[in-house]
Structure 1
Amino acid sequence: MEILGFIGALMMGLTLGLIGGGGSILTVPILVYLFSVDTVLATAYSLFIVGLTSLIGSFSHISQRNVHWRTAIVFGIPSIISVYLTRMYFVPLIPEQILTVGSFSLTKPILILIFFAVLMVFASYTMIRECKKCKEKQVGEIEYNYPLILLEGLVVGTITGLVGAGGGFLIIPALVILAKLPMKQAVGTSLVIIALKSLIGFVGDIKGSEAINWHFLGNFSVIAIIGIVLGSMLSKKVSDEKLKPAFGYFVLVMGLYIITKELFFHHA
């Protein structure tokens, strides 16, 4: 199972490098199901892995001037604050045992996984459908809808804090539609935002660092980084118009599998 898990880490990085988002949605399921990592700890691991991988992936975009720093700051600050507060204060407040109905017990790990799976289904929809607004080349001066950008930053930060996903599938459309960024700049800016908010959110878990297996975390991260470097190289040759919907269907199947398993076969 570990070999499959590390192959999954490579694929996660590869996808992130190829299409600029979406790959991080697989990190928690890989950690939970293939490495048997505790669900809450897996969300913390995911923040570190996704943050570090996105940081490495952003370097090429920075060198190509595909990062719009003003937008990164406007979107990033509320996102960073909310992800840190969520990890530090909200996640620890969720009770281990939430409710019991008959033989089914809704626990904290099951709740997080189900919420994560619902997020995966939503992510798959955004990847499968044709987003014409995202494909249009934007021209002219960049515009801002400040209230919506700030609100989106808070929402994405909270989701990231809860489930450990980078949220690129939410950030990129927001940057294109709300900030009127060209697609390439949206991808580059998104990677910078994901890196900052994920790594700072991980700091909220450092207080429980005795539970963190740094050796394992390092190995997984290195393989994911190799994947994002390879993905960035392949992205110049492979069109994401077919790749993104195909990956979307895969994420959809994974999300439905997690919901079914946790709700109906958890005790099997």
Structure 2
Amino acid sequence: MTLALAVLAGASIGLSLGALGGGGSILAVPVLVYLLDQSPAQATTGSLVVVGTTSLIGAVAAHRAGTVLLARGATFGLVATGGAVLGAKASAHADEDVLLAAFAVLMLLVGALMAWRLLPRDVDGPAHAARPTLDDAILTFSPTFACACPRALKVLVTATLVGLLTGFLGVGGGFLVVPALLVALALPVRYAAGTSLVVITITSAAALATRAGVGSAPDWGVVLVLTLASAMAAVGGARLAHRVDTRHLTAAFTVLVLAVAGYTAARALPALL
């Protein structure tokens, strides 16, 4: 029964990461805690393995499909590693009830954000002539030094926040990375999801390396099964993104995230009172 649950949960995580460029990682910790009997500390470490491996495989598939801008994703990911290291160190000293309660609040925020993005938008608004283009550099050193400092600050703040969440709670942060890549780096929509997988891979690796040897290790057998199922589904998800309207996938996943968020909050928040 535990094996079947791990396979089903891993498939859901991988499908979201592959098709939507994020979101699936938010399920890994609740799955490990409530379905697979891991402690919160074990779950947040195991989640980094699941999410990091799945994102790496999904990024390779997306790169083959031509939807990854590797240099920009790697740059954003490297900036985020500082936050990932700090978050991982803070997590080692956090009470487990606090970890789960923080995760419940994060899930509710992510679910609400995903639902908000599904609302219809007025596409006839004013054009933004000053919007940066893909070829606009943030920093240039030749022939003279120039800095698009507002964009550089957006990248620094968003990347650090993504890293902190990854390190502290074991999530990939794709729900933040995709809009950050759209706004701060001016990536076209079709590249944002694939490029975000590069970022998630780097931040997850940095956080996992920081956590190595700290605290109790997760059940690696369970984590391995969850990771394999998730990785296989991520490849299918990346291919699916080109064939179906991802709004339908996003809507279904939003309902799932909100349901899991409500359950996690009901279990975690009373423990703090």
Q: Would the TM-score normalized by the shorter structure come out above 0.5?
A: yes
- Look up the SS of the partner of 1:207 in the other structure: coil
Larger mean Cα displacement after TM superposition, 162-171 or 247-256? 247-256
Q: Deviations over 1:49-85 (max 9, x none)?
A: 1000000000122224422234224321221122123
C-alpha deviation, 1:139, in angstroms: 8.8
- Equivalent position of 1:104 in the other structure: none
Q: Does 1:112 find its partner at 2:99?
A: yes
User: Is the contact between residue 33 and residue 40 of structure 2 (CA under 8 Å) also seen in structure 1?
Assistant: yes
- Equivalent position of 1:204 in the other structure: 210
Give runs of ≥4 in structure 1 deviating > 6 Å: none
Q: Does 1:122 find its partner at 2:109?
A: yes
User: Is the contact between residue 83 and residue 163 of structure 2 (CA under 8 Å) also seen in structure 1?
Assistant: yes
- Look up the SS of the partner of 1:93 in the other structure: coil
Question: Scaled by the length of structure 1, what TM-score is found?
Answer: 0.84
CA distance in 2 between partners of 1:156 and 1:257 (Å) = 24
5 Å matches for 1:147-162?
A: 147-162=153-168
User: Is the contact between residue 115 and residue 251 of structure 2 (CA under 8 Å) also seen in structure 1?
Assistant: yes
- Segments of structure 2 that go 5 or more residues without pairing to the other structure are 139-150
User: Is the contact between residue 43 and residue 218 of structure 2 (CA under 8 Å) also seen in structure 1?
Assistant: no
- Look up the SS of the partner of 2:171 in the other structure: coil
- Equivalent position of 2:93 in the other structure: 93
User: Is the contact between residue 148 and residue 178 of structure 1 (CA under 8 Å) also seen in structure 2?
Assistant: yes
CA distance in 2 between partners of 1:118 and 1:209 (Å) = 24
- Equivalent position of 1:216 in the other structure: 222
CA distance in 1 between partners of 2:252 and 2:65 (Å) = 28
User: Is the contact between residue 79 and residue 156 of structure 1 (CA under 8 Å) also seen in structure 2?
Assistant: yes
Q: Does 1:81 find its partner at 2:119?
A: no
Structure 2 counterpart of 1:93, which letter? H
Q: Deviations over 1:178-212 (max 9, x none)?
A: 21101121111100010111022111122248734
Q: Does 1:57 find its partner at 2:63?
A: no
C-alpha deviation, 1:121, in angstroms: 1.3
Structure 1 counterpart of 2:249, which letter? L
CA distance in 1 between partners of 2:38 and 2:187 (Å) = 38
CA distance in 1 between partners of 2:33 and 2:220 (Å) = 17
- Look up the SS of the partner of 2:110 in the other structure: helix
Aligned residues with identical type, % of pairs: 31
Question: Scaled by the length of structure 2, what TM-score is found?
Answer: 0.83
Q: Deviations over 1:227-253 (max 9, x none)?
A: 112222322322111221221122112
- Equivalent position of 2:141 in the other structure: none
Q: Does 1:4 find its partner at 2:5?
A: yes
C-alpha deviation, 1:163, in angstroms: 0.8
CA distance in 1 between partners of 2:224 and 2:267 (Å) = 29
Aligned residue among 257, 262, 265 for 1:259 = 265
CA distance in 2 between partners of 1:213 and 1:5 (Å) = 12
User: Is the contact between residue 53 and residue 228 of structure 1 (CA under 8 Å) also seen in structure 2?
Assistant: yes
User: Is the contact between residue 142 and residue 181 of structure 1 (CA under 8 Å) also seen in structure 2?
Assistant: no
CA distance in 1 between partners of 2:19 and 2:25 (Å) = 12
Aligned residue among 164, 173, 177 for 2:179 = 173
- Equivalent position of 2:238 in the other structure: 232
